[in-house]
Structure 1
Amino acid sequence: MKDNFSKQASAYSKFRPQYSDEIIAYIISFVENKSKALDVATGNGQVAYKLSAAFEEVYGIDISQNQLDNAYVADNIIYKAASAENTFFEDQEFDLITVAQAVHWFNFDLFYKEVYRILKPNGVIAVLGYGLFSTNSNTDIILHDFYYNIVGPYWDAERKYLDENYQTIPFAFEEQAVEKFENQLEWSFEELIGYLETWSSVQHYIKKNNKNPLDLIRDTLKTSWEENDKKVTFPMLLRIGKLK
């Protein structure tokens, strides 16, 4: 599993979009027992925190201690540094395992083998995420050029799974039919730029070129943003499965 986010853990916690209560409640509705949940690659713990309201105990694991140091806190959440493919849990320990915006970084075979080991026989695995957001038509033109052309060559190969709405990831489970969700937000220009700076492609560009690619579009983007409604819509990606 790659770690593209330790260096910007604070920004990731501040600017990454939240998962709605609606989609979390929908995932939980598939789960019979609410004893113990695990959020894998938990990052800033936003999903673990939302799960903590419904489950007796929640674990959040991540390979980045910096991410965990910026995570949401609740009395029934336990955070530990661990990889997705090699955890320290007992067999058949969890009623629910979630992975948000991270499964594309994993070794699928090893991770799914681990899920089969630590998930209870009637447990649920939920893989969720969000694709490229859309906004007003003028700003979309600027951002699409930025996404595909300016930082396009700097995306990791695994990004394709998000572009393909997680429909092309291997999924070694009994698939459950799911509803479609969107996440609609209203952002200031600072929030827009802050989110764009968390993109791994932007960080790869900065590392290679010693300059921020957002400087190439910052002025035109700001003008477009201030002239329009500042609303963004994220398509939510969701796959839910049970052990075969």
Structure 2
Amino acid sequence: MNDATTEPKNWFDQGGQAYAQFRPEYPPELAAYLASVAPDRFLAVDVGCGNGQLTRQLAAHFSAVLGFDPSADQIAHATPQANVHYGCARAEELPLASHSASLVTAAQAAHWFDLPRFYSEVRRVAKPGALLALVSYGVLRLEDELGARFEQFYWNEIGPYWPAERKLVDSGYATLDFPFAELEGPSLAIRLEWSLDAFLGYVSTWSAVRSARQAGREELLQRFAADLAERWGDPASRQPVAWPINMRLGRL
């Protein structure tokens, strides 16, 4: 394993490969729950699917799953599965037959959509009684002094480099217009134990980190990495990391 204190630039590499390697996986209970409240289990559609974190979990519960993302780089790093098909498409223009989808999901993606157009497209592709799920995970939590240093970094240091849409994620999409008959979902969270390398690899996938680097603020990132390394102890030791899962669920 590389010593993070001697090769810090590796912590902030970008691209679909880093995204696929470090982005946290959703707990299996999420896909199981969404399938349980869909009207049937024929077709699920994951919009803004990235490299398919939720898409491939839905495949365990549906006969067919379609994952769409506008980024060819993300689709290139999606893991193939027998009953999953990936394609490049915008959320507002889905290459789907009308009234064909039993479930439409958007995981950590809806804040990028033109929502009125996306909702219109959802109404077109969804069969009667289908479920729309806008899923996001909130700000991660570390314990003790690691958590305190991370919160300072997240809210005060890297905060100005987040796009405005990030506030929608931080609020759990609570302020999004959502003109559907709404359901209340279960309380779920992503829980992992990560080494320092894995944690900083995850941070490297943030759009705010990319923006900070483009603005010439590499020292801000390196200072945070050094501070975290000092508090982490053995970089190979695994620390608990958690993200609350937020959902807006609507019946079509």
Which residue matches 1:170? 177
SS of the aligned residue for 1:202 comes to helix
1:24–1:50 CA contact under 8 A, matched in 2: yes
1:150 CA displacement: 1.5
- Map of 1:143-158 to 2, 5 A cutoff? 143-158=150-165
TM-score by length of 2: 0.90
Deviation at 1:210? 6.2
Task: Render the CA deviation track for 1:120-172: whole Å, top value 9, x for unaligned.
Answer: 01111111110111111201121111112221111000001111121111112
* Alpha-carbon separation, structure 1, partners of 2:53 and 2:249: 19
Q: Is the 8 A contact 1:31 1:123 kept in 2?
A: yes
| Aligned-pair Cα RMSD in Å | 1.4
Secondary structure in structure 2 of the residue aligned to 1:29: helix
Aligned length: 237
Aligned to 1:102: 109
* Cross-structure match for 1:90: 97
How far off is 1:212 after superposition? Answer: 5.8
Q: Deviation at 1:115? A: 0.3
Does residue 219 (structure 1) correspond to residue 215 (structure 2)? The answer is no
Instruction: Report the AA paired with residue 151 of structure 1.
Output: I
Q: Name the residue aligned to 1:15.
A: 22
2:44·2:104 contact (CA, 8 Å) conserved in 1? yes
1:79 aligns with 2:117: no
Structure 2 counterparts to residues 54-69 of structure 1, below 5 A: 54-69=61-76
- Please list the CA deviations of residues 80-126 of structure 1 after superposition, one character each: whole Å capped at 9, or x if unmatched: 10000111211101001111000011111010010000010111111
Matching of residues 95-244 of structure 1 within 5 Å: 95-209=102-216, 211=218, 213-226=220-233, 230-243=239-252
Contact 2:68 2:89 in 1 (8 A): yes
Q: How far apart are 1:223 and its partner, in Å?
A: 2.0
Amino acid at match of 1:143: F
Question: Contact 2:48–2:106 (CA<8 Å) still a contact in 1?
Answer: yes
> Gapped runs of 5+ residues in structure 2?
1-13
Bigger RCO (CA 8 Å, 6+ sep) = 2
Structure-1 separation of matches of 2:224 and 2:39: 49
Percent identical pairs in the alignment equals 35
Kept in 2: contact 1:205–1:212 (CA 8 A): no
Q: Determine if contact 1:60/1:77 at 8 Å carries over to the other structure.
A: yes
Q: After alignment, is 65-74 or 201-210 more displaced?
A: 201-210
The whole-number CA distance in structure 1 between the counterparts of 2:122 and 2:45 is: 10
Q: In the alignment, is the contact (CA less than 8 A) between 1:99 and 1:128 conserved in 2?
A: yes
C-alpha change, 1:212 and 1:69, in structure 2 (3 Å) is farther
User: How far apart are the structure 1 equivalents of 2:33 and 2:100?
Assistant: 22
Q: Is the 8 A contact 1:136 1:229 kept in 2?
A: no
CA distance in 2, matches of 1:53, 1:159: 30
Q: Which amino acid aligns with 1:217?
A: F
For the residues of structure 2 that align with 1:91 and 1:229, how far apart are their CA atoms? 47
In 2, Cα distance between equivalents of 1:211 and 1:163: 24
